[in-house]
Amino acid sequence: MRRSVIKGTGRYIPPHLVTNDDLAKIIDTTDEWIQQRTGIKQRYWIEPGSVTGSSDLALEASKKAMDKAGWKPEDIDLIIFATLSPDIFFPGSGVFLQTKLGLDSTPALDIRQQCTGFLYGITTADAYIRAGIADRVLVVGAEVHSTGLDKTDRGRDVTVIFGDGAGAACIEVCESDEEIGIIGHALHADGKYAESLMLELPASRYSPERLTKEMMVDGREYPKMDGSRIFKLAVKKLPEVTHEILEKTGYTINDLDMIIPHQANLRINEFYLQKLGLPPEKMFNNIQKYGNTTAGSIPIALDEAIELGKIDTSKDLVLLSALGAGLTWGAVLYKFS
Ligand code: ACO
């Protein structure tokens, strides 16, 4: 049977460190508020003034993942690129990454599911592999948030949480009768919450022009979030989708060796773990160092957890889960072997 396994992971975090105290110098916030509400101590942003798109960060993460997988760019059958901060409005960042990898005909697909983007990405990769359409899929989640944040007091709730970064995974076919690799997925969306977390402009729905100076007066070109609504949805839906995928695949909560959740807020993840009744060592968090890197957060955390030896890559059962703008949420269950 065709199954999908992770052959290599990689991450890239840009070098420009921004601490909470750095932010407190430009907006009305404090290190104490940010740490208490989110757990974040610092994040990294691209070098101010540089021309660095999400595809540039993705390239570095992809090269590391491909080195570990033993892949050359020509081995890739499909690129899946998850981001909410594409290099430009269109085309998507996948084609920029493709050409930076030195390729000129490999298909490239962009996924716009925000924090759940990497999970939609690896689920799509699994479907392509199981269907025999592809043998090797590069899935990347990458964000350059820092150039699109409202760095005034008006945007302080959103600006303090986001960091830049990229993570990648090389997903490859494996013929096996054992239940290994990607063994289950559960993806969801609920569009009635679309405007609870959005970056509205430029918007094709407005005419005669999609972006005018008048529209920008209220900062509608920056992300807006109803934080407490999203928080409440997250602490409800993340445990729900965890139980859903375990039920679907026939595992129990105690079979899980590690949870790699999206890194949106440490408090969300602590509530989530509490509701599952699991001890802290069953969840890996690194939001303290990187902030919320949206589509990048799960592959970054997965790569770091593997590097730190938090996951036994010869046997562990690992759950990846996320909730974010859309509203989108989901989980993927992975068995290392
Ligand atoms: N510094 C200081 N004070 C602030 C800041 C800040 N950076 N931001 C907001 N405040 C103030 C508010 O103005 C408010 O003041 P008031 O009581 O005088 O009105 C107070 O702090 C509380 O504001 P809340 O918004 O209620 O704070 P909350 O505890 O909800 O924390 C946060 C805000 C961190 C954003 C939280 O709601 C959250 O994490 N929500 C979920 C985020 C999430 O999961 N998003 C999805 C993923 S992202 C994606 O998909 C792209």
Predicted pLDDT of residue 311: 98
Dihedral angle computed from the Cα positions of residues 162, 264, 153 and 15, in that order, rounded to the nearest 10 degrees = -20
Predicted pLDDT of residue 73: 98
For the Cβ of 294 lying below 6 angstroms from any atom of ligand 1, the answer is yes
Report which of 140, 103, 105, 113 is spatially closest to residue 125, judged by C-alpha positions: 140
> Measured between alpha carbons, how far is 216 from 191 in angstroms, rounded to an integer?
24
Average pLDDT over every residue of 42-50: 96
Predicted pLDDT of residue 240: 98
| Residue at 180: amino acid letter | I
How far is CA 107 from each of CA 57, 63, 110, 193, rounded to the nearest angstrom? Answer: 20, 18, 10, 32
State what percent of residues in the chain have pLDDT above 90: 98
Q: Write the residue with the smallest CA distance to atom 1 of ligand 1.
A: 29
Cα 82 to middle of ligand 1, angstroms: 25
Residue 217 has pLDDT above 90, yes or no: no
Residues recognised as catalytic? 115, 262, 292
In this prediction the pTM is 0.97
Neighbour count for residue 41 (Cβ, 10 Å): 17
Q: Write the residue with the smallest CA distance to atom 10 of ligand 1.
A: 157
Helix (H, G, I), strand (E, B) or coil at 253: helix
Give me the CATH code for the 2-175 domain, please.
3.40.47.10
Helix (H, G, I), strand (E, B) or coil at 57: helix
Residue 218 has pLDDT above 90, yes or no: no
| pLDDT tens track for 291-332 | 999 999 999 999 999 999 999 999 999 999 999 999 999 999
Contact 54, 46 (CB under 8 A): no
Neighbour count for residue 271 (Cβ, 10 Å): 18
Average pLDDT over every residue of 161-175: 98
181-279+295-335: CATH topology: Peroxisomal Thiolase; Chain A, domain 1 (3.40.47)
Contact 106, 98 (CB under 8 A): yes
- Mean per-residue pLDDT of the chain: 97
Q: Write the residue with the smallest CA distance to atom 2 of ligand 1.
A: 29
Cα 37 to middle of ligand 1, angstroms: 7
Dihedral angle computed from the Cα positions of residues 275, 276, 280 and 281, in that order, rounded to the nearest 10 degrees = -170
For the Cβ of 150 lying below 6 angstroms from any atom of ligand 1, the answer is no
Atom of ligand 1 nearest to the CA of 326: 50
| pLDDT tens track for 95-135 | 999 999 999 999 999 999 999 999 999 999 999 999 999 99
State what percent of residues in the chain have pLDDT above 70: 100
Give, in degrees to the nearest 5, the angle at Cα 72 between 70 and 76.
Answer: 105
Q: How confident is the model at residue 71 (pLDDT cuts 50, 70, 90)?
A: very high
Residue 157 has pLDDT above 90, yes or no: yes
For the Cβ of 226 lying below 6 angstroms from any atom of ligand 1, the answer is no
Atom of ligand 1 nearest to the CA of 158: 35
Average pLDDT over every residue of 246-273: 98
Residue 221 has pLDDT above 90, yes or no: yes
Classify residue 26 as left (phi > 0), alpha (psi -120 to 50) or beta.
Answer: alpha
Classify residue 326 as left (phi > 0), alpha (psi -120 to 50) or beta.
Answer: left
Instruction: Break the chain into its structural domains and give their ranges.
Output: 2-175, 181-279+295-335
Q: How confident is the model at residue 52 (pLDDT cuts 50, 70, 90)?
A: very high
For the Cβ of 324 lying below 6 angstroms from any atom of ligand 1, the answer is yes
How far is CA 25 from each of CA 102, 224, 290, rounded to the nearest angstrom? Answer: 42, 22, 19
What are the E-state strand segments in 75-220?
78-82, 108-111, 136-143, 165-175, 181-189, 197-198
Residue 162 has pLDDT above 90, yes or no: yes
CA 30 and chain centroid, separation: 26
> Measured between alpha carbons, how far is 218 from 232 in angstroms, rounded to an integer?
27
Q: Write the residue with the smallest CA distance to atom 33 of ligand 1.
A: 227
Q: How confident is the model at residue 285 (pLDDT cuts 50, 70, 90)?
A: very high
Average pLDDT over every residue of 195-218: 93
Predicted pLDDT of residue 14: 98
For the Cβ of 156 lying below 6 angstroms from any atom of ligand 1, the answer is yes
Residue 142, C-beta contacts closer than 8 angstroms, at least 6 positions apart: 54, 55, 57, 58, 61, 81, 82, 83, 93, 165, 166, 167, 295, 296
Average pLDDT over every residue of 217-225: 93
Atom of ligand 1 nearest to the CA of 264: 44
Contact 167, 115 (CB under 8 A): no
Asked if the domains 2-175 and 181-279+295-335 are classified in one and the same CATH topology, the answer is: yes
Predicted pLDDT of residue 86: 98
Q: Write the residue with the smallest CA distance to atom 25 of ligand 1.
A: 227
